[in-house]
Every structure is written in structure tokens, then in C-alpha cells.
A and B are shown apart, each in its own frame.
Chain A
Amino acid sequence: MTALLLTLLAPVAGAVVLGMLSSLHRAGWVNVTACAVSLAAALWLAWIVAATGEISGLSFRVDAFNVYLVVLTTFVGLTTSIFSRPYMRHVCDSGRTGTTGMRIYHAMYQGFMFTMLLALTTDNLGILWVAIEGATLTTVLLVSLYRTPEAVEAAWKYFILCGVGIALALFGTVLTYFAAQHVLADPEAGLTWSILYENAGALEPAVMSLAFVFLLVGYGTKVGLVPMHQWLPDAHSEGPTPMSAVLSGLLLNVALYALIRVKMLVDGSLATTSTPRMAGYLLMGFGMLSFLVAGLFLHRQRDIKRMFSYSSIEHMGLMTFAFGIGGPLATFGALLHMLVHSLTKSAIFITVGHAAQIAGTQSIDHIRGLIRTQPAVGWSLLIGVAAVAGFPPFGVFTSEFLLLTATMDAQPWLTVALLTGLAVAFAGLFRHLQPMVYGAAPEGQQPVAANMLPVYAHLGLVLWLGLSIPGFLARWLDRATELIAGAHLL
């Protein structure tokens, strides 16, 4: 419990300190420190969970499923904060934002981390909602940080769409609570996930399926599922790059996590009805649609960050699809994919941030010859894109391979669609990537001060996961799989 509280309180303390701190130089370091403390506590927490199975109390619940996301969140949070320190100083020096903006940025960064961690660890569906809405509120000012018309527009879109979506999710939560009141002895506990899960079989199926539709649309907006994805490319492309990295690498995961938790309840409730897999089919449908549409949209992008945000939609669609299939193999694959996608995508966004600084623009047509100008950035981008496109020997390949196998098992004819989608996305990415990395560098293009350590760490991990999944991690994911799918894979 101490470890859990420390994980949660480190960002809170960080946010408070950063909100008052006026020194820019120190703020960057405080940001890193808070993230580091949180990561250390998260690792401690993971250790305890590995030893005891699960921790619950004070309406928190940490089990194998969410503890791995907690560690992932704090880890990506730390590496991104390391990247953001020099990057944001560069932004500040170039006059795109002032000291107030920087103070907001740092405080909100920690606030965002807190809401993410709270959403992951809470056992209460209501608090989960509050935390995910809080995540929108903390990031929306960051998206408009540069105050350009585009940034303001992106932030407004983000705010309104996610606000509306999340409002529908609250309606779904209310319906869940309503269903619980018929079943539970203590109606006040009607939002506690663990208790609901134990009694899932007794929840009224008609109400729960209605609730799930609302929750799917609501949290699905946050996941970036097509057709509720409109906000995502805008918010990613117009916000500061560290923000894009954490939005893509973490926020989408957390929203998906919320969806999966709810799906577990609905599956329990619908188990004895004539449509036991309704929730799964809905997830598969939305997931497949997002996967294919985003793959096609990759081709017509002109902005590098926009392009990679469509790639995020594509991968979130794939994971949603996999969770929809259900079963141990698909679930294991989806969990692994969540992990490797977060690591790869945040590495890519960090690299893209540097690339955009080198070229002075985010337009794909004007980013040229990265390998010549700054080999570290160029190679990282190349390797990162190769990894995210599913090349062996990277971890994404492993997880996508698992997902394909699972699809072959469950819905063989969908494998074709899946393979086509992967090929389309692959072509879309490489078509734009090739000139950016290899093309002739414009006259006078200078390298920038870049801290590539986070990128190396992420890509190294992804490579490691592709070559061999360490035993402890496999067991860990297997336990999470057991929680979600009800059966071991290994």
C-alpha cells in the first residue's frame, strides 16, 4: 500500500512543486525526479504484487493486469521527461512559449501522470471516469500551448469531442451502477469493480449491454477508435512533442484499459444469454474499422506527427480487435502489443520531435536527409518505424504474429483483412519515411542538441522483447491474461 501511495503521490507533489517553481532550469530536473520516484515506487509495487498476487484497499486494486501498465506508464513518463527537459528549453528559447507556459507545462505533465496512475489503480468505476476526464483537462491546455490558431483549434476539438465522449461514458457508468443496485446487498458498493466482477453473472444483461454501448463510445473516443478519432491527429500534431509521446504511448492505453475492465463485467453478465460475446464483437468491429481506416489515412498525410498519430490509431484498433477476439492467445498478444507499441511509439515521437527541430518544420515534404545531418536521429527514426511497422526482430513483430495466429484460430477469414491492413500501413509509412531519412539534406541544415538516451532505451527494450521475452515478464503477462481471458496461455 505504501508503494502504491508513493507511486500516486510523487506526481502530485511534483505538480505542486512545479506549479510554484519559477526557475526553468530546475523545473526540468524536478520533473525528471518526480517521474523517477514514481517509477521506483511502481517497480516496488510490481515486486509486491508479484509476491502476493494483488493489493486492494482504500478503493484501490492493483493486480497483474494493471500493475504492468503502471510500470509502463511511469517508465515512459520518466524517459519522456528526460527528453522533454532539453526539448522544452529549446522551445522556450525559440520563443514559442513563455515562462508561464513552461510552468503550466511542467505542472500539467505531472498532473497528467497522476490522473493516468489514478485511473489505472482505482477500483471504483466512478473514480476511473473522473480520472480519465481529469486526463483530458490536464492535457488540453498543453495542446494549445503554442497558441497558434491551429493549436487552439486542435485543443478545442480535443476538449469538445473528448468531453462529449466521456459524458456518454458517465451515462454508461450510471447504468452499470443501476444494474448493480438490483444485485448487491450494499448498493453503495455498486461502482466497485472487484465486487461487481464477483457478481457479474447476476447483473441484468439488457442494462449491461446498453451500458457497454455507451461506455464503448465514451472511452472509445479516448482510445481514438474510428469514427470518434477526429480529435486525435490534431491534438498529437499541434501539441508539444513530449505531449504527443505520452498521449500516444499512455493515454490511449489507459482508455483501452478502462474499456477492457468494463468488457470483463459485461462478458460476465451476458455469459448465460443468447449473445454472450456481444461486447467482444463490438470491440472487434470498431477495432477492425479503426485499423483499416487509419492504415489508409496514413498515405495522405503531410505532417509527420499527424502521420504517426494515425499509426497510433491503427495500432489501438489492432489491440481493440484482439481484446475483442478474447481467448488467452489473443489477449496475451494484445497485452504484449500494448507494451511494445507504447515503447516504440513514444520513441518515435521523441525522434520526430528532434527531426522537426532539425528541419524547422513538421511538414513531411520539407524534412529531408536526416541521416546525413544527424545520423543518430535518422537511424533512430528508421529503426523505430521498422519496429512499429512490424519488422522482425522487434517486439511488435512478435505480438502481431501472435495476434495473427489468434485470428487464424478464431475468425480465419479476418486474417486476410488483417494482413492487408498491415501491408497498407507498412507501405504508407515507408513511402513517406524513405525521402525523410535518405533524401538530400537541404543546404545549411544543422544538427540539434538531442538526448537520444530514452530512444535507445525504448528501442533496445523493444528489440529485446522481440528476440526473447524474459521469463518473469512472460509469467507476468500470463497472469494478466488469466485475469482477463480466464485461462492461462503458457
Chain B
Amino acid sequence: MSIAELPLLQQLVLVLAALVLFTSFVLLEQARLVAAIHAFAWQGALVAAVTTVVAASGQGGHLYFSALLTLGLKAVLIPWMLHRLVQRLDLDGHADSLRRPALVIMAGVALVIFSYWLVLPIVEQELSFTRNIVAISLAVVLLGLLMMASRQQAVVQVLGFMSMENGLFLAAVSATGGMPLVVELGVAFDVLVAMVLFGVFFFQIRESIDTLDVDRLNRLTEALENEE
């Protein structure tokens, strides 16, 4: 079944999913903190849009609710909380660029290919038109991981973490047409609590090392201990 045979609405889902992947790359490369938060909000909105369109193209049911949940949580609430935290921490103008952007981007592309290869058994299952998006969502998860590994700024790491969660939401929608409602609510609750705790931690980290570069959190390495 190639894309040209799908109804227009389902083609739209694929386009939106591809855009989600693109926002992941934007997040990966974005140096300015506030712009990165905006990119994250866009990603959340796109995931919500994917969910809505999947719901509209036949899956229906509680997916509408889950789209609303994603929109509220990932596109509005969490970006807003991060924005406020960044303001309170006086990090508005903060920017730290990647150390080796080309390398990181290439690694990101490699991850996309890797996730495609990984989920091939699912693609072969041929359940619904969204199965191709599973590779995209896994790629978004892995790109979030890459972002956390390549950045040292605490807020950016949190963005990476949250974008991983976006990938998971996308996976749930694309592979299975949404998890059961109670699980989805539980996951959303966990994410929200995690965000509040991250906020608490920003202040604790700043209090203890005067910066949010978690690079500087290096007291507890095995090597250092031997020198003491």
C-alpha cells in the first residue's frame, strides 16, 4: 500500500508525523533556550494534531480526549511551566550551542535509520496505515536520548526527556491507536509530577553549584573517589 492510495486525511497524518521528527532535529540543534522551549511546544502541538487526525480518520473514540490531553499538557502547560522557570532563573537570554553540531546531526540521522531498521518487524505486520509512524516515534525517543547525552544544560536535558515522552505518545497513537484511558491518564500524571520535580531540582542544582550546567555535577565519579 503506497502513500498515493491512502485517503487525504491519512496522508496528512504522515506529513504531521514527519514534521514531529523535524522538530526533534530542531530541538537537537537549537542553541537558544527560549526558542528550544517553543520548538518543544510545537512538537507537542504536532503530536496532538497527529492524534486528532488519526481519531478523525476512523479510530475515533477516546483518542480525541487523548489529543486534548496531549495538547494541554505538552503544548501548553509544560512549555509554560518551563518558560516561567527559565524566567525565574534569569536564563532568558541563555544560549549554548552544540559542541560538534555536524557530528550530532549525523548521529541523529543514523538513529533515524537505526530505528527504521529496528521496527521493520512491525511494519511487516501491516495493521494500519500508521504503522510507518512507529519508526518515526522511536526515532523521536532516541533523538531525545541523544539530546540529553549531547547537552549539558539542565533545562535542555529536561526538554530532551519531555521530547522522549512525546515520542512515546506518538508511538502509542500510531502503533496501537492509543493506550487504554486509565494508563494514559497515569502516564500524563507522572509526566506532570516529573515536571514539577524538575522545577524543584533546577533550583536545588543552582543553589549547590551556581549554574545549571550539569557537566559540573561531577563529584560522584568512581575515578575521583580514589584520589580522595
| B-binding residues in A (CB < 8 A) | 59, 124, 126-127, 129-130, 133-134, 137, 140-141, 144, 147-150, 152-157, 159-160, 163-164, 167-168, 170-171, 174-175, 177-178, 181-182, 187-188, 190-191, 204, 206-207, 210, 234, 237-238, 297, 300-303, 306
Across the two chains, which residue of chain A brings its CB closest to B214? A156
Bitwise, B159-202 to A at CB < 8 A (1) or not (0) is 00100110110011001110110110011011001100110110
B180 touching A174, Cβ below 8 Å: no
Does B127 interact with chain A (Cβ within 8 Å)?
Answer: yes
B113 touches A (CB below 8 Å): no
A174, B225: Cβ atoms closer than 8 Å: no
Q: Nearest CB to that of B201 among chain A residues?
A: A156
A167's partner among B118, B121, B165, B177 (CB-CB below 8 A) is B165
B138 close to A149 (CB less than 8 A): no
Per CB-CB distance, the 7 closest pairs between chain A and chain B, nearest first, are A126-B183, A130-B186, A206-B121, A153-B217, A149-B208, A178-B175, A152-B208
Distance in angstroms from A180 CB to nearest chain B CB is 9
11 contacts between A and B (CB under 8 A): A126-B183, A149-B208, A155-B204, A163-B161, A163-B194, A167-B168, A168-B141, A174-B168, A177-B179, A181-B177, A210-B119
A141 touches B172 (CB 8 A): no
Q: How far is the CA of A43 from the CA of B198 in the complex (A)?
A: 38
Interface pair B122/A126, CB less than 8 Å apart:
no
Residue B2 lies at the interface, judged by CB distance under 8 Å to chain A: no
List the A residue with the shortest CB-CB distance to B173.
A174
Taken together as a complex, chains A and B put the C-alpha atoms of A237 and B197 apart, in Å, by 21
B171 to chain A, nearest CB (A): 5
Identify B148's interface contact among A140, A152, A164, A204, CB under 8 A: A164
Contact B225 A301 (CB under 8 A): yes
Closest approach, in angstroms, between the C-beta of A185 and any C-beta of chain B?
15
Within 8 Å CB of A306, what residues of B?
A: 225
Task: Evaluate whether A171 and B186 lie within 8 angstroms (CB atoms) in the complex, with A163-B161, A164-B148 already known.
Answer: no
Q: Which residues of A contact B119 (CB under 8 A)?
A: 210
A191 touches B179 (CB 8 A): yes
Which of B118, B164, B180, B219 neighbours the largest number of chain A CB atoms within 10 Å of its CB? B180
Report the bound CA distance from A137 to B219 in whole Å.
23
CB contacts under 8 Å to A, within B111-147, are 118-119, 121-122, 124-125, 127, 134, 138, 141, 144-145
Known contacts A210-B119, A297-B222; A127/B201 CB under 8 A: no
Q: Check B193–A300 contact: CB distance below 8 A.
A: no
Task: Say whether B209 faces chain A, with CB atoms less than 8 Å apart.
Answer: yes
Chain B contributes a number of interface residues (CB within 8 A of A) equal to 53
Given contacts A164-B145, A300-B226, contact A177 B176 (CB under 8 A): yes
Most buried by A among B176, B219, B226: B176
> B228 contacts which chain A residues (CB < 8 A)?
302
Contacts of A178 in B (CB 8 A): 122, 127, 134, 175-176
Quote the shortest CB–CB distance from B226 to chain A (angstroms): 6
B138: which A residues are within 8 A, CB to CB?
171
- Knowing A153-B217, A174-B172, A177-B176, say if A210 contacts B118 (CB, 8 Å): yes
A124 cross-chain contacts in B, Cβ below 8 A: 180, 182-183
CB of B186 within 8 A of CB of A127, answer: yes
Query: Given the interface contacts A167-B165, A171-B141, A171-B168, does A156 sit within 8 Å of B222 by beta carbon?
Result: no
- Choose among B157, B209, B219 the residue that contacts A160 (Cβ–Cβ < 8 A): B157
B205: Cβ under 8 A from any A Cβ: yes
Which single residue of chain B is at the shortest CB-CB distance from A170?
A: B168
Assembly CA distance A156 to B171 (angstroms): 27
> Known: A130-B186, A207-B122, A210-B119. Contact between A150 and B204, CB under 8 A?
no
Q: Given the complex, which residues of B lie within 8 Å of A168, measured CB to CB?
A: 141
Interchain CA distance A148-B179 in the complex, whole Å: 40
Q: Are the CB atoms of A133 and B125 closer together than 8 Å?
A: no
- Residues of B close to A191: CB separation below 8 A: 179-180, 183
User: What's the Cα separation between A372 and B226 when bound, in Å?
Assistant: 28
Looking at the complex, which one of A153, A160, A174 makes contact with B176 (CB distance below 8 Å)? A174
Report the minimum CB–CB distance from A195 to chain B (whole Å): 12
Q: Are B201 and A174 neighbours in the complex by a CB distance under 8 Å?
A: no
Check: B220 CB closer than 8 A to any chain A CB: yes
**Does B193 contact A302, Cβ atoms closer than 8 Å?**
no
A241 to B59, CA, bound (A): 50
B171 lies within 8 A of A152 (CB): no
Taken together as a complex, chains A and B put the C-alpha atoms of A210 and B138 apart, in Å, by 12
Assembled-state Cα–Cα distance A177/B184 (Å): 13
**B207 adjacent to chain A (CB < 8 Å):** yes
**Nearest chain A CB to B179 CB, angstrom units:** 6
* Chain A residue contacts of B200, Cβ below 8 A: 141
A127-B189 Cα distance, complex, nearest whole Å? 12
Q: What CA separation (Å) do A65 and B20 show in the bound complex? A: 42
Q: Which residues of A contact B148 (CB under 8 A)?
A: 160, 164
Cβ of B12 to closest chain A Cβ, rounded Å: 22
Q: Which residues of the partner chain B approach A297 to less than 8 Å between Cβ atoms?
A: 222
Question: Inside 8 A of B176's CB, which chain A residues have their CB?
Answer: 174, 177-178, 181, 187, 190
List residues of chain A with CB within 8 A of the CB of B198.
159
Chain B positions within 8 Å of A137 at CB level = 190, 193-194, 197
Complex CA–CA separation, A274 to B164 (angstroms): 34
Structural contact, B165 and A129, CB atoms closer than 8 A: no
**Distance (whole angstroms) from the CB of B24 to the closest CB of chain A:** 14
B209, closest chain A residue (CB): A149
Binary contact track B70-102/A, C-beta < 8 Å → 1, others 0:
000000000000000000000000000000000
Q: How far is the CA of A77 from the CA of B207 in the complex (A)?
A: 32
Q: Is the CB of A126 within 8 A of B225?
A: no
Cβ B208 vs Cβ A148 within 8 A: yes
Query: Contact: A134 with B190, CB < 8 Å?
Result: yes
Q: Is A126 a contact of B219 with CB atoms below 8 Å?
A: no
Contact A181 B127 (CB under 8 A): yes
State the CA gap A168–B161 with chains docked (Å). Answer: 11
Query: Closest CB-CB distance, B217 to chain A, in whole Å?
Result: 4
Report the bound CA distance from A191 to B179 in whole Å: 9
- A373 CA / B35 CA spacing, docked (Å): 60
Bound complex: CA A223 to CA B198 (Å): 23
